[in-house]
Structures are given as structure tokens and as C-alpha cells.
């Protein structure tokens, strides 16, 4: 889903870039009290983690594979603002270090994956969590559902951007993208749920949006500060 350079027109590139930079910027302002020098190693390790996790291909069906995006996982673990910042950073490294995703399309890619997949994904998760009973099982279910929907919505946003740019007709790209990602999204949902289940079993204090059980200890006490 990483759009290369040349596929989008300048209007779409600039508009998505402004929205993505604005959202991540607002996020950085909102998270200012958390976002000091102290959070640097933590954010860095999470960025490296999402980056490494994206390199693991998982099987979709009989040989084809997709890879993990991790947007919903990041926002459930770190909250919507820090989570989307992490996804934005991963995209920046992939763009400059690997030519994966174009420089002029960085805004669009960040819009699709950090804003639609991350921030929007978080609020889907939050809504599901609120609607469902307060229970660990339903917590995981909401994260899984949000993960599936975030991948599908992000691919939809990608198809719409390509269509507005006049590259591909919406009538062909949208159903294809949604169809493929409805399948890839299942893998994303399964992995997001499994990862959260493991973290919940071992270190429930690390999941910022998990406020059901007693926390083992607060983050600040765990740090030598």
C-alpha cells in the first residue's frame, strides 16, 4: 500500500500532506507532556519494532502473503497520538532509507496509514470497546475488529487518492483494493489480537488503553527517573 512517486497529482499530494502533517503535529502538541526526552528511547524502540514486524510476511491463503501494518496495534499500545507518530516515523524511514513509498507521496502514505489507519483506527477501537461489555475478551475483539477495518479503510483511501489524481478509475481500483485488503485485514486482525493477548498476559501495564484490571505498577515508577 506504499504509493510510489508519480502516481498522485500535486493537488492530492499537497492536500494529504497538509492533513497528515497537521494531524501528527497536533498529536505531538497534545502528547507534549508525554513527549519529552524521556520518551525518546521508548518511541524509538517502538518504531524499530513496528519496522521489524512489517518485515514478517504472513500467509494469506495457499502461498500468497501479506505483511503486518501494525497501525492499530501501535495506537492501542501507545494511544492515538504517539501511535500515529510511530507509524509516521516508520514511513519516513522506509521512504528515505529504502525508497519504499515516494517522497512526494509521503503525505498520502502517512494520511492512509497513520491518520486513517492509526488515529481513525483508534477511535473505531475506542467505540467498539465502549459498546461491548467490559471484559478482556471483548477488549481483544474490539482491537481485532478495528485492525481489520483500519486496513480496509486505508486501502480505500489509497484507491480514492489514485482516482482523484486521474491515475486509475475508481470503479476498478476501489473494489479490487477493498477486496484484497478485506482478506489481508483478517491476518492483520488475527496478529493484532494475538500480540495484544500476549502483552496483556505478560505486561498489562504497557497497554495504555487497557483500563480494566488493576495495573501492576504505573509507568513512572518502573523508570529510574
Q: Quick one: cell of 149?
A: 477495518
Least distance CB 195 / another protein (angstroms)? 4
Q: For another protein, what does the binding mask look like between residues 44 and 83, x meaning CB under 8 A?
A: xxxxxx-xxx-xx-xxxxxx-x--x--------x------
Place of cell 510510489: 4
- How many C-beta neighbours within 10 Å does residue 175 have? 11
Helix axes 136-164, 121-131, angle to 10 degrees: 150
178 within 8 A of 152, measured Cβ to Cβ: yes
The candidate with the shortest Cα–Cα distance to 180, out of 97, 60, 89, 32, is 60
| Choice between 127 and 169, CB closer to another protein | 169
Among 134, 172, 175, 215, binds another protein (CB under 8 A): 172
Q: Hey, which residues between 185 and 214 contact another protein (CB under 8 A)?
A: 186-187, 190-191, 193-199, 202-203, 206
- The helix or strand, by DSSP H or E, that contains position 6, with its residue range, turns out to be none
Q: Hey, which residues between 85 and 114 contact another protein (CB under 8 A)?
A: 89, 92-93, 95-100, 102-104
Least distance CB 132 / another protein (angstroms)? 21
Please work out the total of residues on this chain that contact another protein, with binding judged by CB under 8 A: 74
Q: Hey, which residues between 124 and 163 contact another protein (CB under 8 A)?
A: 162
Among 18, 26, 38, 137, binds another protein (CB under 8 A): 38
The CA-CA-CA angle for residues 87, 32, 112, to 5°, reads 25
The CA-CA-CA angle for residues 117, 121, 122, to 5°, reads 130
Q: Which residues of 199-219 are buried (b: 16+ CB within 10 A; e: fewer)?
A: bbeeebbebbbbeeeeeeeee
Among 4, 19, 164, 204, binds another protein (CB under 8 A): 4
| Choice between 127 and 194, CB closer to another protein | 194
Question: How far from each other are the two terminal CA atoms of the chain, in whole angstroms?
Answer: 40
* Alpha helices for 99-132 (secondary structure H): 106-110, 121-131
Q: Hey, which residues between 14 and 33 contact another protein (CB under 8 A)?
A: 28
217 binds another protein (CB under 8 A): no
Least distance CB 194 / another protein (angstroms)? 3
Least distance CB 51 / another protein (angstroms)? 6
Least distance CB 29 / another protein (angstroms)? 11
Amino acid at each position: 500500500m506504499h504509493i510510489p512517486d508519480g502516481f498522485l497529482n500535486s493537488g492530492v499530494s499537497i492536500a494529504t500532506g497538509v492533513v497528515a502533517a497537521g494531524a501528527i503535529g497536533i498529536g505531538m502538541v497534545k502528547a507534549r507532556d508525554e513527549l519529552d526526552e524521556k520518551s525518546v528511547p521508548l518511541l524509538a524502540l517502538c518504531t524499530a519494532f513496528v519496522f521489524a514486524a512489517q518485515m514478517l510476511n504472513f500467509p494469506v491463503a495457499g502461498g500468497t502473503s501479506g505483511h503486518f501494518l501494525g497501525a492499530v496495534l501501535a495506537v492501542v499500545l501507545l494511544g492515538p497520538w504517539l501511535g500515529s507518530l510511530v507509524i509516521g516515523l516508520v514511513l519516513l524511514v522506509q521512504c528515505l532509507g529504502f525508497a519504499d513509498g515516494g517522497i512526494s507521496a509521503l503525505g498520502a502514505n502517512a494520511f492512509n496509514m497513520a491518520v486513517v489507519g492509526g488515529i481513525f483506527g483508534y477511535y473505531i477501537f475506542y467505540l467498539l470497546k465502549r459498546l461491548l461489555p467490559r471484559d478482556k475478551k471483548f477488549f481483544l475483539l474490539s482491537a481485532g475488529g478495528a485492525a481489520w477495518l483500519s486496513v480496509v479503510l486505508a486501502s480505500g483511501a489509497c484507491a480514492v487518492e489514485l482516482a482523484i489524481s486521474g491515475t486509475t478509475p475508481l470503479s476498478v481500483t476501489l473494489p479490487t483494493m477493498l477486496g484484497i485488503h478485506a482478506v489481508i485485514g483478517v491476518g492483520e486482525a488475527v496478529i493484532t489480537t494475538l500480540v495484544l493477548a500476549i502483552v496483556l498476559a505478560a505486561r498489562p501495564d504497557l497497554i495504555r488503553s487497557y483500563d480494566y484490571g488493576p495495573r501492576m505498577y504505573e509507568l513512572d515508577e518502573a523508570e529510574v527517573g
